């Protein structure tokens, strides 16, 4: 009887250690992922996401892919700031949003950059009926291009969804943002 009890207690102890180890591993993986997928500028992201009816985790995922949360980032094409706003989009948005004394340098200001980026995403959501893949393709490759692709049988069979994105960069961008968005939803699901 004592040998059976000892074995039972040993088995319970081993199971306890395994469960505890798995919990520690899960916590450390999540902690590490949060370092790789941070949520900097959370207050600004949440503020403008609410204002423009967006998921803040999507905005965080876009910023992660666009600039890795580097407010001073400049792309090869000259897009600036956290959400990589182009000069043309920045000027247009500043007029629409009535941003006084606008200069291109303001795109490095996180508050202005996130506001403009969220405003623009909201417009794309309206234009493309909240189809996330189309919105992301338009954010990266231009809304005019996405509209053309939807009319071209090579890229869209139904005029509503894209079966293929002809720009390699844009195709990769859409996949990266979808992946990042999924990870942000896992890490920050409390939002």
Whether residues 104 and 24 fall in one domain? no
pLDDT in 10s for each residue of the chain, 191 residues: 566 677 777 777 777 777 766 676 666 778 889 999 999 999 999 999 999 999 999 999 999 999 999 999 999 999 999 999 999 999 999 999 999 999 999 999 999 999 999 999 999 999 999 999 999 999 999 999 999 999 999 999 999 999 999 999 999 999 999 999 999 999 998 87
* DSSP per residue, 129-189: TT-HHHHHHHHHH-HHHHHHHHH-TTT-SSSSS-S--S-HHHHHHHHHHHHHHHHHHHHTT
104 is catalytic: no
Whether residues 21 and 44 fall in one domain? no
Non-local CB neighbours of 176 within 8 Å, separated by 6+ positions: 65
What pTM was estimated for this model as a whole?
0.87
Whether residues 25 and 77 fall in one domain? no
Angle at CA of residue 48, ends 45 and 51, nearest 5°? 145
Q: What is the pLDDT of residue 4?
A: 66
Whether residues 18 and 96 fall in one domain? no
Whether residues 181 and 96 fall in one domain? yes
Alpha-carbon distance of 75 to 86, in angstroms, equals 9
Domain range for 120 is 38-187
Whether residues 45 and 32 fall in one domain? no
| Sign of the four-CA dihedral 146, 140, 174, 60 | negative
Q: What is the pLDDT of residue 27?
A: 64
Whether residues 42 and 30 fall in one domain? no
Whether residues 27 and 44 fall in one domain? no
Whether residues 20 and 100 fall in one domain? no
Q: Measuring CA to CA, which residue among 47, 108, 58 is closest to residue 82?
A: 108
Whether residues 10 and 85 fall in one domain? no
Q: 31-61, pLDDT tens digit by residue? A: 889 999 999 999 999 999 999 999 999 999 9
Q: What is the pLDDT of residue 190?
A: 82
Q: What is the pLDDT of residue 3?
A: 61
Whether residues 50 and 113 fall in one domain? yes
Whether residues 70 and 5 fall in one domain? no
Q: Measuring CA to CA, which residue among 136, 88, 79 is closest to residue 108?
A: 79
- Looking at 66, 71, 96, 169, which residue is catalytic? 66
Domain count across the chain: 2
CA R_g for the chain: 22
């Amino acid at each position: 009887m004592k040998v059976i009890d000892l074995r039972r207690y040993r088995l319970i102890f081993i199971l306890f250690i395994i469960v505890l180890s798995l919990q520690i591993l899960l916590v450390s993986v999540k902690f590490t992922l949060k370092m790789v997928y941070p949520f900097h500028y959370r207050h600004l992201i949440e503020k403008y996401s609410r204002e423009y009816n967006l998921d803040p985790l999507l905005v965080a995922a876009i910023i992660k892919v666009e600039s890795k949360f580097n407010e001073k980032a400049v792309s090869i094409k000259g897009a600036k700031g956290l959400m990589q706003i182009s000069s043309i989009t920045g000027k247009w948005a500043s007029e629409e949003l009535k941003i006084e004394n606008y200069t291109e340098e303001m795109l490095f200001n996180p508050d202005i950059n996130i506001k403009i980026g969220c405003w623009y995403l909201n417009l794309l959501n309206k234009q493309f009926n909240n189809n996330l893949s189309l919105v992301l393709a338009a954010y990266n490759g231009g809304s005019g291009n996405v509209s053309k692709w939807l009319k071209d049988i090579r890229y869209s069979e139904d005029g509503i969804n894209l079966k293929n994105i002809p720009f390699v960069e844009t195709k990769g961008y859409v996949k990266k943002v979808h992946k990042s968005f999924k990870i942000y939803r896992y890490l920050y699901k409390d939002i």
